[in-house]
Structure 1
Amino acid sequence: MFTPSQADVRRFFCGAFDKGQRGLPLEPLETLAYEWMLRHPEYHGALADLEAALRSMTDVDPARDNPFLHLSMHLSISEQCSIDQPPGIRQAVELLAARRGSLHAAHHEVMECLGRMLWESQVNGRPPDGQAYLAEVRRRATGA
């Protein structure tokens, strides 16, 4: 399993952003990341300066979004949907997107569910509960 460091993640996003901005060829994962980056112009400043991104790794400001975490979650949800893992997540996200009128808005709601699942896993010292995660996304998608 590939487990990139925080610095690796920042290098990936900043590198993909730089390549995309310069019109250079992108790898498939970079293309997907760049598409999400374009939907978040508020992050472009952070993505344009790799050295500042690396220096700020220890800065924790709960009042400010972490663009690298946010974009990583977009990629994670995109990947989950592409392979339908956990089974049913693709349909649940599609239903939520239809309900919200936007895949982007749906992703932001799914991020809340994903973040909760990961937090509960860490707090309880158990593996992530994919079924509870899927159930929460489905509840949001159906309004039930």
Structure 2
Amino acid sequence: MFTPSQQDVRRFFCDSFKKSHAREILTPIEAIAADWIHQHPEYEDVLSDLDTALEANYSVDEGKSNPFLHLSMHLSISEQISVDQPRGIRSAFQVLARKLNSEHEAHHQIMECLGEMMWNSQRSGLPPDGEAYIEALRKRAS
């Protein structure tokens, strides 16, 4: 399993941003990242300065939103939808996107459920509960 460091993740998004703006060839995963970056122009200042990005601290206690976590969650959700894992996420996403008339907002709804599932897993010490995750998405979609 690939487990990138915090710096690896930040470099990836900054490099994807830089390559996209320079109209360089992107790998498939960089292209997906660049699409999400373009949908979040509020992150461009952070992504345009690698040194600052590597040093930045996004403390929950200070109320700072972490753009790298947010974009990483978009990437994770995109991958989950593409392979329909956990099973049912693709259809839940499609229903949510139609209901909200926005694939982006559907991602944000899924993100909340994903965050809750991960928090519950960390708190309980048990593996993430994909069934509970999908059920939470279905409730939002109904």
TM-based fold match above 0.5? yes
1:132 positional shift? 0.1
Instruction: Provide the residue aligned with 1:132 in structure 2.
Output: 132
Partner of 1:55: 55
- In structure 1, the gaps of 5 or more residues are none
Distance 2:119 2:128 in 1: 9
SS at match of 1:73: helix
Q: State the AA in 2 paired with 1:47.
A: L
Q: Deviations over 1:40-76 (max 9, x none)?
A: 00000011111001111x4414422110000000000
What is the TM-score normalised by the length of structure 1?
0.95
CA RMSD of aligned residues (A): 0.9
Partner of 2:96: 96
CA deviation after TM superposition for structure 1 residue 108, in Å: 0.4
1:13-56 CA-to-partner distances (Å, cap 9, x unmatched) read: 00000000110000000000000000000000011111001111
Q: How many residues align?
A: 141
Does the alignment pair 1:77 with 2:77? Answer: yes
Whether 2:15 is the aligned partner of 1:15: answer yes
Partner SS, residue 30 of structure 2: helix
Aligned equivalents of 1:59, 1:68: Cα separation in 2: 9
Q: Point out 4+ residue stretches in structure 1 off by more than 6 angstroms.
A: none
Q: Could you state the TM-score of these two structures normalised by the residue count of structure 2?
A: 0.97
The equivalent of 1:38 in structure 2 is 38
Secondary structure in 2 matching 1:87: coil
d(CA) in 2 for partners of 1:102, 1:46: 25
